[in-house]
Structure 1
Amino acid sequence: MQHDLEKLGPFGFQDLAAALASAVCGRNVQALGSGRDGGRDMVCRGTIIWSGSETERGEVWDGYTVFQVKHKERLAAQPSANLAWLWKHVRAELEAWANPDSGRGPVPDYLVIVSNVPLTPTPDSGGLAQLDKNITAYIRALSDGSRDIDKDATARRKTMSKRMARLRQWRIWDGNQIDALVTANAGIRRAFGSFLTVSDVFAHLADFTDKLPLDELKSGLHRQARLALTGDRLIYFDEAGSAYGSGTPIEQVAIDLPITPDEDGSPRTVFGYVLDRAEHVLKPRLNLHDGPRHIVVVGGPGNGKTTMSKFLVHVFRAALLAGGSNLGSDHVEVIEATAKALRGMSRDGLPKNRRWPMRIDLAEYAEEQGLSEDSTLLRWIAYKVSKRLNAGGVSAGALDSWMRQWPWFLVLDGLDEVTEPRSRKRLIAQITEFVTEAEGDNCDLLVVVTTRPTGYIENIAPTQFERVNLSGLDVEQAVRYGIRATRVRLREDLDKIERIETQLRRAADNESLRHLMQTPLQVLIMTIIVEGSGRLAPDRYSLFWGYYDTVLRRERAKPVAFARLLEEHAPHILNLHQRVGFELQIRSEESDGSTATMSLRELRDITWQVLHEAGFHPSDTDSALLDQIVIAATHRLVLLAPRGAEGVGFDVRSLQELMAARFLTNGPLEQAMARLQCVAASPHWRNTWVFAAGGLFAEPQPHQHEAVVSLLERIDTDAAFRLGRICPIGPALALDLIEDGMARAQPRFHDRLLTLAFALLHAPNLPDSLAVARVLVRAADHSDRARDLIADALREALGADPVARRTAEGVQDLIDTAGREAGAGRHARTLTAVRAKLSRRAGQAASIDGQWEQYRQTLVDLADAEDVANTVGDADRALHRLRKSGDIDAESRPILAALADPEAAEILEMALGHVAKDDPEVLTIIRDGVIPAVHRAPVGEELRLMS
């Protein structure tokens, strides 16, 4: 055969079969895709006209036709073995159709068997003839009653015979036939990059890109892929104290993270899901993929999203270059190691469908003015490719032409790090524009966007992007990852490895620690703390703080020049980390500082301030100490890492947030509470807020615990500027604190947090019901007391108004899924059996018209001043237009203007209180469409004034 059909893999071959079936048999052929298809890969209901030939007369099939695709990944040397494999699979399908108990749909009138297995064409004795005879013999055997052992057997056989009598004719498209069809359909052949060798890809780039000059692309794309294969492969962890850590190959530590289970409860993983999607041909006009092509991967802090994105891009680089003749021994070694890592994840080696990969750090993109009005994602990609070259460059026009001809894989990492409202809006518009243009140009493109869940309410282009939620690691996965990461880090230190492994398994058996083993970062930190003989604490704040303490102690014990500095000036070093973390956290919420770095001059200024406040004289007698600390920072000072000419920053965003949290809670408690109230609504500050609360709970100071919980209980009062009473933030924050684990050992405060979180069960259209179910299940699994409180809250919500009932039912439906993910006991999962508490309101619906009349009357009664009345009136008219059009961009400005006026905001909040409960659609529009702009408003300058 001319075309290597094995290389396509099962997904690619099925797509090829669908494309060829559509080309040969017409557009009535419908591809059903992979999954439980009832023995149907493609179907056609209607007429198929087969063209004739010199040896075969044309036929007309009029009825229900099924196409079945059978791909053999490795063909045998003997044709008879390939025939036996194919007949085995065809027979299994025939038996399933014949069996009345199989659950299969109707037996087709016509059947087309499509396979990459080449069958010999010899008349009467060849493989094609033999397979045809086998099918005929199977159907005829159902009419033979000589082997029936009793009446039941006879009845069953006759039923099967009657079912199979419907099958009138069949055809076999073997590997030779497919090869001929591919040759005859050049457009389809070019759509399948798997047919091309690596030398084809780079030696004939000009042919694939509308005759562009070869040197413009080949020198860029090939060299960029080859350099990045080895240069972007390393990740760094546990490298504190060293500016020149060797790094760890990403394929050695990448873990296939679990995602939300399938609808039938089947487990799924993010690499499996994305790589399976990428194996398909995603050209829109081939119409082979049903549903959104692109993916948004949503995961919390430390979930491994960045490592995941880097590994996926690395995998496709390895696949693109595999088999090339111009590779060094290091390249070959990396490619082989990557394929081995994939096989360890139950994949069949490297992807079959070669895609040109690229990863874009969205924070860097925003930082470098990528979001200006005349910029595009494609221009930035061209800039990033050209930056890696010694000479010359690749233009956006060249890449545009290349993308139309060759499959791409693009990762946009860190959407959550672009927080400034206008920048975020522009970025999302550019992403949508990019994929829309690619669809219009019929590009085979797969885009993966990563983000944290907090604040992600945009639901980017829902017809283009599918949301996939990362789940927490189960205990066994967490232990395996911890052991694997430890062996990579410590290599030959078998005693330490054994001790850490023992401690990890003990932590997995400790219910108070088990809930921390949900993310790769937290598991890694646990292994580092245990390595340093530290104590594992049962909440996230103490875990991350323990990491800092462990690294600091380790670096002080090293025989290096900076050890004495760390020993004598530990309080000042910590103060420096806290101030830098706070400053970088502020900068990273602004449109021009998303990558969160600090120049050496700025670091020097902050160090000067730290030393000056401690009583030193950094401008004269203690200038040497100032110089030492700044020099230490350029060689990595505990958690501060050098960023070349950019200065310094934190490698791990959660550690920046930890230090910012400690800064927020420095000083008098009243001042700390004021700062926490200031940042509470911001998605950008959410993880910092939880760390700060955790720090206050970590100390045995009941007045601090009371202050945190009381703040949450009142945080949505006197907050009309964000409509706090109808769009509260307190319940979600309380849920985060419960999940963190900080109050688990203090039922008084834990119960109050639960009670506050239960308000979510009465909110309409929860953005993430599974996240709520997960927290409730873990809390119920930890404590019978909590389980009873949760059961009562579910009963109340299930028996309340229709909005609450729908929400509670949605959460309850996911409890079993959340329980399986968490390994929760049967007692916690009995929450699925909770039934509604009888209520006189159950089933009743308030008069919407009456509620809106009260809304209007409130506006009239309270908006007496002319300027306030005008502001409120503009907002009212915009709200009504918004209800009809749903155009948030066009109508939100007058509403936001009213919220910026304290008096108008109070009036609007009071009026909306009449309709919010009984008109869930308008509440959802306001909560998810308008209020996020208020939540995302930068608060950095206000915080600076409070410090």
Structure 2
Amino acid sequence: MPDYDLTRLGSRAFEQLVVALARRDIGPGVAVFGDGRDGGREATFEGTINWSGTASGGQNELDQWSGYTVLQAKFHVKPGITPKNNAVWLQKQIRSELDGWIEAAEENKRSRLPDYLIFITNVDLSAVAKDGGIDTVNRAVRKWITDDDTVKSGLRVKDFAIWHADQIRSMLDTNQEVRCAFPALLTAGDLLAKLTPEWVSLGNFDAQDPLRDQLLLAIKDDRWIRLSQSGGPGEAKLWLDDTAIDLPATISKPEGDVAVQAVRHVLRLGDTVLRQRQPDRIKRSNLVLVGGPGQGKSTLSQLIAQAYRVALLTGADPGPSVKEVVDGTRSALARLRLPVPSNRRWPMRLDLAKYAEELSTGAETSLLRWISHRLTERTDRTISPNSLRQWLRAWPWALILDGLDEVPSLEARRLVYNKIDDLLTTAEDDDADLMIVVTTRPTGYDERFSAERFEHLELQRLPSDDAAAFAQQITDKRFTNDDEMRVKVAARMRAAAHDPLTIRLMQSPLQVTIMSFIVEKYPTLPPDRFTLFRMYYETMFDREIAKDIPVARFLSQYRTEIDRLHEQVGLTLQASSEAADGAEASISPQELHDIARSRLLDRGFSHFEAEKQAAALVEASTHRLVLLGPRDDGVGFDIRTLQELMAARAITEGDDSTVMRRLQLIAHHPHWRNTWLLAVGALLLRSERFEKSILRLLEQLDTDPHRLYARYPTAPALAADILEDNLAAKRPRFEKGLVGRVLGSLDRPPAVDLARLAAAFLSIASDPLYRRLVYDRIESAASAGSARRAASALLLEEMSAEVSPHDTRCTAMLNSYRVLKVPESEGQALAAWSRILESSILPVQYPDASELHFRIWSSIELPGDQGVESIGLDTYLQKLVEPVGLGEKDMQILKAGLDALSGSRIQLTGPSPGVALPDALRVGAAEPLLRALDNEDVATSLDLALGTLPSTHWTVEAMLGAAFKPSQNRRPVGPDILRFVAEANAADNSYPD
């Protein structure tokens, strides 16, 4: 009997194994595991078990059981050294379990008590007669189930069985198909049997295995954290294993948000078998990590990949340089109290922006083909997609897709979604053990992955204590050989981590790291994010100037030119990354040189001098400041926020009216959101006069007829972001104006930005100055019609998901909801619309909405089919516009645009006009509708028609906005902003003769 290492399975995979074996040994009637009283899991069987006919029979006094049997898994992560230790541990586990059943019997807590019990464990027990572990445990358990206290409690267990490790191994020998479904139990021979001769070395990780080469290269690549290459002060390098941290996250569930640690949660999921034909299958076997700029998404993806690489390289005896990384990663996992994965998934980490560039060329490249290309490029063997599919069938994968947010084109993102969905379909068909992890920013994440397949982890801000600990970690590493500086910087970082103002700038790993660079030089810390990154840039610049090197004088003399070069490059890259084919955001060395030379020529330098100094400027920017680093065949910013900072500085260069026009141009586009906020920070730092200008811009922003005026406003979310960025601190009048703009979102139900607005409402309501104002405004909707009530109810629902049920703010929300007095019919519309908001990628068909409910308030039952009129959204809107009197030609343009909504439907219930319930939202290409709105007469007529909607039909307007608004917001603005800036620069550099 082979000595299968059962501890490699992990507790959840062991439970899955037990279910599979029990179904084979006892029968298919074994029910899948369900949550137990203490978080453990149990399976049950109702019927007769004939032990003489099973692989595990012959051990009981009775050859046949008839009744209700409960199976309980007892997994020991680190079994004892001796069988005696294991027997003692198992006795304690069983005693605890029996005590739970006795308590349940006495207090009538369980609907049914077991007639029989089977305890299954991965520990080895001694078979020595009488004194061995098997006999000892059996005697103890029989005594417990037959003593008077047990019988008096009402628990009457007729018999029991114990399946220990040797018995499980024996069952595996007779059920090879079950064993082969669990990679931790596979042998090299198993892989040879599964793969074609072309790939006989695959998975052995020996010198002939191409995957070994890929692992060795990848584990070294991902040890590096990008920020260390950005020239931060301090000579120590920042390696992943020195500075990695796990981050808090929440998972949205119907009963409320669940707090987890992101990496721990991913690795725990990965330790289970995720084959979709597994009896105890996990439906949501994939994850999306959602986090803001610099919040650590990519670093987490690196850590996850490194953990799996370490697991695969265990025992592989790599060379010294790789062994150093393996040992360092093991130490980092131990420091974070994260286990090395038991399920040794093969990790592949890919940049989605590069994949999107490939798709944007029109190439029908599947993800498997793309992965095979990447492997072939990095190894000395050609790896075909077909061979890779064999590997997918044979071995579990962890496919990590980083940077969905860096795919800015809506069309390119939908292509990416489709290709990921295609791979999942292939994996299901092959019964592959595949886990996909995707990272993205929340801004612009409009077409969500299916909640049926993906679990969404929302990364949270670093708690102040964690930020302080991480700061200490960074400081200790950077100043290993300078005790005085280490103590000084550490003290300043501790103070910053507990200061109410600066802690807002230490809520992500990137911010903490940059802050450590700044406090090394400046004891006074920045009050906002723009100043934080500006000081980082200036700190790096000043550091180079202060060095006693020849180039320091050049840096000092040409500082303005170097600033402008970075700004122009930042703006150029930010604009080019708006398109799918430029998502990687890089420019060639020649383009960089041309930008520098053009700038010098505009400043009046001769052609010879401009050529000479341009080369020096490029050299200084790429080799001294190293904000611009190598990227494929060009250069780009290693830190995306610094690219956005430089773009913001370029946008804010010029007279006030010109700058405000530029801000208005990019305000709606999610790709430019961070740049927009950094530009606002730059203006507010420049002068207080911009407070009025920005408020005026927010007032005028949603007056464009082509955007249907203020029906789907952008200004409230922008105002919320300004508040969140701390840009209104110590500016009470400005702050009050922003709060007013945020509260304006209650005028109509938000079709977009609901989560961001809810977070802003929570933050504002936490301030005693505004708390009553917020809830009074919400409650005033009680008498303002269905649409206003819906807006308030939706925001309250979303706010409730962000706080603990025990939070005192929940009471205020619940009271406000009661004041709203939402009628049942309106509650049905809210429930249906909530489902639309939480749904998957468009287009989709939504399931029965009767499953919907508010998270904390009440379940909402939707009406049946009787008395319900179903109508297409496009038909409804066409009929709505007809009375407006739109000309026949324009009406045809509108109808062509509305065809995109032909798969979307609503249901009208109740007496006329009834309540409109969203039934399905299926959207084709939005461009025809956008072209229709480009016609001002069409757009104005549609707006007028929407103004005639009955208040109870607010979902019609909301569905229309959800259908076209994300695409409209993402219409490219990069070429226009580049042109406007270039024209202004040309005007500024022209002098009279």
For normalisation by structure 1, the TM-score amounts to 0.90
Q: Which moved more, 1:9-18 or 1:934-943?
A: 9-18
Q: Deviations over 1:682-701 (max 9, x none)?
A: 11111111111121222332
1:786 paired to 2:770? yes
Q: Deviations over 1:303-343 (max 9, x none)?
A: 01111111111111111011114x22333332222122112
**Correspondence for 1:883:** 905
C-alpha displacement at 1:293, in angstroms? 0.5
1:796 paired to 2:787? no
- From 426, 432, 438, the equivalent of 1:443 is 432
AA matched with 2:224: L
1:918 paired to 2:952? yes
- CA distance in structure 1 between the partners assigned to 2:200 and 2:748 by the alignment: 58
Cα distance change of structure 1 residues 36 and 337 upon mapping to structure 2, 3 Å threshold: farther
- CA distance in structure 2 between the partners assigned to 1:71 and 1:138 by the alignment: 21
- CA distance in structure 2 between the partners assigned to 1:445 and 1:51 by the alignment: 38
Q: Which moved more, 1:652-661 or 1:20-29?
A: 20-29
- From 261, 265, 271, the equivalent of 2:263 is 271
> Is the Cα contact below 8 Å between 1:432 and 1:461 reproduced in 2?
no
1:900 paired to 2:934? yes
Q: Which moved more, 1:365-374 or 1:18-27?
A: 365-374
1:374 paired to 2:364? yes
- CA distance in structure 1 between the partners assigned to 2:119 and 2:605 by the alignment: 83
Q: Deviations over 1:659-700 (max 9, x none)?
A: 111111211221112111111111111111111112122233
C-alpha displacement at 1:356, in angstroms? 0.6
1:494 paired to 2:483? yes
Q: Which moved more, 1:96-105 or 1:333-342?
A: 96-105
**Correspondence for 1:32:** 33
- From 427, 435, 443, the equivalent of 1:454 is 443
C-alpha displacement at 1:78, in angstroms? 2.7
C-alpha displacement at 1:261, in angstroms? 6.5
Cα distance change of structure 1 residues 264 and 905 upon mapping to structure 2, 3 Å threshold: closer
Cα distance change of structure 1 residues 768 and 626 upon mapping to structure 2, 3 Å threshold: closer
1:212 paired to 2:198? yes
- CA distance in structure 2 between the partners assigned to 1:818 and 1:679 by the alignment: 39
C-alpha displacement at 1:538, in angstroms? 1.6
Q: Which moved more, 1:895-904 or 1:569-578?
A: 895-904
> Is the Cα contact below 8 Å between 1:139 and 1:161 reproduced in 2?
no
- From 419, 422, 445, the equivalent of 2:411 is 422
1:84 paired to 2:83? no
> Is the Cα contact below 8 Å between 2:681 and 2:727 reproduced in 1?
yes
C-alpha displacement at 1:460, in angstroms? 1.4
C-alpha displacement at 1:252, in angstroms? 1.2
**Correspondence for 1:620:** 608
- CA distance in structure 2 between the partners assigned to 1:575 and 1:605 by the alignment: 13
**Correspondence for 1:146:** none
**Correspondence for 2:384:** 395
- From 419, 422, 437, the equivalent of 1:433 is 422
Q: Deviations over 1:631-682 (max 9, x none)?
A: 2234254522233x62211000011011111111211221112111111111
Cα distance change of structure 1 residues 310 and 699 upon mapping to structure 2, 3 Å threshold: same
For normalisation by structure 2, the TM-score amounts to 0.86
- CA distance in structure 2 between the partners assigned to 1:534 and 1:444 by the alignment: 52
Cα distance change of structure 1 residues 612 and 479 upon mapping to structure 2, 3 Å threshold: same
- CA distance in structure 2 between the partners assigned to 1:486 and 1:921 by the alignment: 53
**Correspondence for 1:726:** 711
Q: Deviations over 1:162-218 (max 9, x none)?
A: 4312x3332211111111111222122222222357xx4xx9754342443436885
User: What SS does the aligned partner of 1:284 have?
Assistant: coil
Q: Which moved more, 1:692-701 or 1:215-224?
A: 215-224
Q: Deviations over 1:24-64 (max 9, x none)?
A: 23333333367866654323345555452694699555543
- CA distance in structure 2 between the partners assigned to 1:20 and 1:748 by the alignment: 69
Structure 1 runs not aligned, ≥5 long: 144-156, 821-825
- CA distance in structure 2 between the partners assigned to 1:357 and 1:880 by the alignment: 42
> Is the Cα contact below 8 Å between 1:256 and 1:269 reproduced in 2?
yes
C-alpha displacement at 1:589, in angstroms? 1.0
Cα distance change of structure 1 residues 417 and 452 upon mapping to structure 2, 3 Å threshold: same
Q: Deviations over 1:830-869 (max 9, x none)?
A: 7456535957987785999999999666512334322101
1:178 paired to 2:168? yes
Cα distance change of structure 1 residues 796 and 812 upon mapping to structure 2, 3 Å threshold: farther
- CA distance in structure 1 between the partners assigned to 2:929 and 2:404 by the alignment: 26
1:629 paired to 2:629? no
User: What SS does the aligned partner of 2:383 have?
Assistant: coil
Q: Deviations over 1:232-274 (max 9, x none)?
A: 3222324445999984321111110100168687641101110
Cα distance change of structure 1 residues 883 and 265 upon mapping to structure 2, 3 Å threshold: closer
AA matched with 1:874: A
C-alpha displacement at 1:548, in angstroms? 1.1
AA matched with 1:713: E
**Correspondence for 1:711:** 697
User: What SS does the aligned partner of 2:580 have?
Assistant: coil
1:338 paired to 2:329? yes
Q: Which moved more, 1:842-851 or 1:113-122?
A: 842-851
Q: Which moved more, 1:648-657 or 1:667-676?
A: 667-676
User: What SS does the aligned partner of 1:728 have?
Assistant: coil
- From 554, 558, 583, the equivalent of 2:572 is 583
Aligned residues: 913
C-alpha displacement at 1:921, in angstroms? 4.1
Cα distance change of structure 1 residues 906 and 223 upon mapping to structure 2, 3 Å threshold: same
C-alpha displacement at 1:279, in angstroms? 0.4
- From 635, 640, 648, the equivalent of 1:653 is 640
- CA distance in structure 1 between the partners assigned to 2:820 and 2:434 by the alignment: 53
AA matched with 1:141: D
Cα distance change of structure 1 residues 874 and 770 upon mapping to structure 2, 3 Å threshold: closer
- From 846, 862, 884, the equivalent of 1:862 is 884
**Correspondence for 1:811:** 798
- CA distance in structure 2 between the partners assigned to 1:328 and 1:532 by the alignment: 40
Cα distance change of structure 1 residues 917 and 314 upon mapping to structure 2, 3 Å threshold: farther
Any residues of structure 2 matched to 1:760-779 within 5 Å, and which? 760=745, 764=749, 771-779=756-764
Cα distance change of structure 1 residues 649 and 283 upon mapping to structure 2, 3 Å threshold: same
Cα distance change of structure 1 residues 837 and 750 upon mapping to structure 2, 3 Å threshold: farther
Cα distance change of structure 1 residues 209 and 244 upon mapping to structure 2, 3 Å threshold: farther
Structure 2 runs not aligned, ≥5 long: 830-868, 907-918, 982-993
Cα distance change of structure 1 residues 674 and 904 upon mapping to structure 2, 3 Å threshold: same
AA matched with 1:17: V
**Correspondence for 2:843:** none
- From 127, 130, 151, the equivalent of 2:133 is 127
AA matched with 2:411: R
- CA distance in structure 1 between the partners assigned to 2:748 and 2:246 by the alignment: 34
Cα distance change of structure 1 residues 525 and 242 upon mapping to structure 2, 3 Å threshold: closer
**Correspondence for 1:285:** 277
Cα distance change of structure 1 residues 630 and 557 upon mapping to structure 2, 3 Å threshold: same
Q: CA RMSD in A?
A: 3.2
- From 736, 739, 747, the equivalent of 1:754 is 739
**Correspondence for 1:942:** 976
1:871 paired to 2:893? yes
- CA distance in structure 1 between the partners assigned to 2:392 and 2:687 by the alignment: 59
AA matched with 2:388: L
Cα distance change of structure 1 residues 119 and 215 upon mapping to structure 2, 3 Å threshold: closer
User: What SS does the aligned partner of 1:784 have?
Assistant: coil
C-alpha displacement at 1:109, in angstroms? 2.8
1:477 paired to 2:466? yes
